[in-house]
């Protein structure tokens, strides 16, 4: 099962899993995009695709997904928590409702989905979970303060589970992409940021393939791209004040807060 599967990294992951012969459950808000993905993947790869139109910002959406799949007798062997959103702008000027929705989607829904599907995996003594975080998880992000905080939460939560689940037959992998050519940039109104003006973004297919391989190996943390791995390592060594200022300059000092679509 893949959340946020209507485009970007989620759809690219769906393509890989379908090519490898997995039946899929695809979750997203857009019924039209999910239906198009279902038709294409089933016809191209001869696998089965179920779609679930759900908005994980809604409080009980994760429970609804789990209940519906349980009623259908569906067993989820691999869970991919990919859905997420960001917002670019100063925290003081941000719309709280949008910030709260970001926390709900990026943290609460992801943790709840993991909680629900983890127990059956443990009972079967097998399963894999891929939680999509970001290189933003490794450092504070002025002008994207809440987004960075949510991705740090995903990384730390997932790494903690790695130790808890050792020897259980269930693995947890955290995928940490850097700048990626998805709808995220436009949704977070980041086109004008220096990060996306100066760095070459990876394609969703590149990130998905890297994440898939890491998941299959049971790798705890997967940072896609050499430069991203270098940055993730270097911020651990640099003084925190320098890390904050470097990130602030990298994003550019935009004063307004513009919420994602």
Query: Catalytic annotation on 212?
Result: no
Q: Which of 147, 210, 212, 248 is catalytic?
A: 147
H helix runs in 104-178, sequence order: 110-124, 145-164
H helix runs in 130-251, sequence order: 145-164, 184-187, 194-198, 204-217, 226-237, 240-251
d(CA 51, CA 97): 28
Residues 6+ apart with CB under 8 A from 160: none
DSSP for 37-65, written as a single string: HHHHHHHHH---EEEEE--TTSTTHHHHH
Q: Do the beta carbons of residue 18 and residue 43 sit within 8 Å?
A: no
User: What is the CA angle 189-144-146, rounded to 5?
Assistant: 120
Tell me the sheet residues that pair with 173: 130
The CA distances from residue 146 to 100, 122, 182, 205, in Å, are 9, 32, 20, 27
The residues that are catalytic are 147
């Amino acid at each position: 099962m893949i959340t946020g599967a209507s485009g970007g990294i989620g759809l690219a992951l769906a393509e890989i899993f379908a090519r490898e012969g997995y039946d899929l459950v695809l979750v997203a808000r857009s019924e039209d995009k999910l239906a198009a993905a279902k038709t294409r993947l089933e016809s191209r790869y001869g696998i089965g695709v179920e779609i679930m139109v759900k908005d994980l910002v809604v409080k009980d959406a994760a429970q609804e997904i789990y209940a519906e799949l349980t009623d259908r007798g569906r067993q989820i062997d691999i869970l991919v928590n990919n859905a997420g959103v960001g917002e670019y702008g100063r925290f003081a000027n941000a719309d709280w409702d949008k910030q709260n929705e970001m926390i709900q989607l990026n943290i609460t829904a992801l943790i709840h989905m993991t909680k629900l599907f983890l127990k059956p995996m443990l009972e079967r003594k097998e399963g894999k979970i891929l939680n999509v975080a970001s290189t933003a998880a490794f450092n504070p992000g002025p002008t994207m303060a809440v987004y960075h905080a949510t991705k740090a939460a995903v990384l730390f939560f997932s790494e903690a589970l790695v130790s808890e689940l050792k020897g259980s037959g269930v693995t947890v992998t955290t995928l940490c992409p850097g700048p990626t050519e998805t709808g995220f940039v436009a949704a977070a109104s980041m086109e004008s940021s220096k990060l996306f003006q100066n760095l070459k973004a990876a394609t969703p297919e590149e990130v998905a393939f890297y994440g898939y391989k890491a998941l299959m190996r049971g790798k705890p943390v997967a940072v896609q791209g050499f430069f991203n791995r270098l940055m993730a390592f270097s911020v651990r060594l640099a003084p925190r004040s320098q890390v904050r200022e470097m990130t602030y300059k990298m994003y550019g000092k935009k004063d307004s807060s513009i919420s994602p679509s």
